[in-house]
């Protein structure tokens, strides 16, 4: 495992990290969470990602219970939460959004659910056009000055909005965002590779990225090459949207290219999931790739992607580009 700086900050994050979005509190109970997190930690993972909205707070509760059982030294790992949609089933207006009130109260609630004293990373999960940028930046700065958060960032914000937040911070002597959490995989490239290009400059924002969905919601795992498996999360209640997406014309076209990509993986003597994750790691502007798993075997499989990166020569990368030409956005 290698460790990369989170943007221009001094924080070192493992190049592969572990997230709980779909699984914790749904497919994964506390005991299984302990096993999966232990497998990731033993492989060198030091960043564990979460959010208030994941399973309406249950994901953070499960992770907190797992961390208590694991009893790791607190200064040996990084945990995050994200704020925007709230943790209630039907949130009231003050229980969601990026107002200073919700920023602070949601932070306290995430800390309580995870049984920790502070959050290492705290993300604005999406933009909130109803809240002035100065209020957001001041709210996050306040949390850092109180010692409740060490670094704040954004998720899926436009480059223009991140630049605005940075400018507001500099104008009022506040703390600017350190990182964004964008979607990034072989079929979804433009934001990370083009839109954010100017933000990586250390003389500007010096943005770090904690990218999500390296396997494109499972499409790049190759598990849908011959249909939808019975144990897939696509069949879980609440994930009808994912099934509809997989059955769409665009994703069916992508599925055919995944079959071709699987042959590239075979030629390299590796698997499709390892190839897809390694492809993300190849980008030097990716601080960490968030992986997910509902089985220890999946954690082990994902960690093996590190060994594939040196095999991704210019010729192999071009072959991947040729196969996915016209299908990436």
| pLDDT reading at 283 higher than 80 | yes
Q: Dihedral of the CA atoms 182, 183, 189, 190 (nearest 10)?
A: -50
Say what percent of the chain tops pLDDT 70: 95
Residues near 31 by beta carbon (within 8 Å), at least 6 away in sequence: none
Q: DSSP letter at 269? A: T
The reported pLDDT for the residue numbered 245 is: 74
The reported pLDDT for the residue numbered 231 is: 64
Cβ atoms < 10 Å from Cβ of 190: 12
| pLDDT reading at 249 higher than 90 | no
Q: Which of 54, 151, 166, 196 is catalytic?
A: 54
User: 3-state class of 129 per DSSP?
Assistant: coil
pLDDT digits (tens, 9 = 90+) for 116-126: 999 999 999 99
Question: Distance between the two ends of the chain, CA-based, in angstroms?
Answer: 30
The reported pLDDT for the residue numbered 28 is: 85
- What burial class does residue 30 get, using C-beta atoms within 10 Å of its C-beta: 0-12 exposed, 13-18 middle, 19+ buried? middle
- Measured CA to CA, the distance from residue 154 to residue 169 in angstroms comes to 14
- 54: annotated active-site residue: yes
**Mind listing the domains of the chain with CATH numbers?**
3-217+273-312 (3.20.20.100)
Q: Dihedral of the CA atoms 70, 12, 153, 84 (nearest 10)?
A: -20
Task: Give, in order, the Cα–Cα distances in Å from 187 to each of 71, 180, 239.
Answer: 39, 19, 21
| pLDDT reading at 165 higher than 70 | yes
| pLDDT reading at 190 higher than 90 | yes
* Mean pLDDT value of segment 50-62: 95
The reported pLDDT for the residue numbered 233 is: 65
- Name the pLDDT band for 236 (thresholds 50, 70, 90): low
pLDDT averaged over every residue in the chain? 94
- Measured CA to CA, the distance from residue 283 to residue 44 in angstroms comes to 20
The reported pLDDT for the residue numbered 88 is: 96
Inter-residue contact 131 to 143 (CB < 8 Å): no
Window from 14-28, 46-60, 67-81, 254-268 with minimum mean pLDDT: 14-28
Window from 135-139, 247-251, 310-314 with minimum mean pLDDT: 247-251
The reported pLDDT for the residue numbered 246 is: 73
* Mean pLDDT value of segment 36-60: 97
- Name the pLDDT band for 68 (thresholds 50, 70, 90): very high
């Amino acid at each position: 495992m290698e460790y990369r700086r989170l943007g221009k900050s001094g924080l070192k994050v493992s190049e592969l990290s572990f997230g709980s979005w779909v699984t914790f509190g749904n497919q994964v109970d506390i005991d299984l969470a302990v096993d999966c997190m232990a497998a990731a930690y033993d492989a060198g993972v030091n960043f564990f990602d979460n959010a208030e909205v994941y399973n309406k707070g249950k994901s953070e509760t499960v992770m907190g219970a797992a961390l208590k059982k694991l009893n790791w030294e607190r200064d040996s790992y990084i945990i995050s939460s994200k704020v925007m949609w709230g943790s209630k089933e039907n949130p009231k207006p003050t229980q969601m959004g990026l107002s200073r009130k919700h920023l602070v109260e949601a932070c306290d609630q995430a800390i309580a659910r995870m049984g920790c004293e502070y959050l290492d990373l705290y993300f604005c999960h999406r933009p909130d056009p109803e809240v002035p940028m100065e209020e957001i930046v001041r709210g996050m700065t306040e949390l850092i000055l109180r010692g409740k958060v060490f670094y704040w960032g954004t998720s899926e914000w436009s480059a223009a909005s991140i630049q605005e937040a940075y400018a507001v911070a500099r104008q009022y002597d506040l703390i600017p965002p350190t990182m964004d959490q964008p979607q990034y995989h072989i079929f979804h490239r433009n934001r990370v590779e083009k839109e954010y290009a100017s933000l990586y400059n250390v003389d500007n924002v010096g943005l770090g990225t904690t990218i999500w969905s390296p396997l494109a919601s499972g499409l790049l795992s190759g598990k849908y090459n011959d249909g939808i498996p019975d144990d897939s999360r696509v069949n879980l209640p609440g994930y009808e949207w994912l099934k509809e997406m997989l059955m769409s014309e665009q994703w069916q076209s992508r599925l055919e290219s995944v079959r071709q990509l699987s042959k590239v993986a075979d030629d390299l003597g590796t698997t499709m999931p390892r190839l897809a994750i390694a492809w993300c790691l190849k980008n030097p502007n990716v601080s960490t790739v968030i992986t997910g798993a509902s089985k220890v075997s999946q954690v082990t499989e994902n960690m093996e992607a590190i060994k594939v990166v040196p095999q991704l020569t210019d010729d192999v990368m071009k072959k991947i580009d040729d196969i996915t030409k016209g299908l990436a956005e």
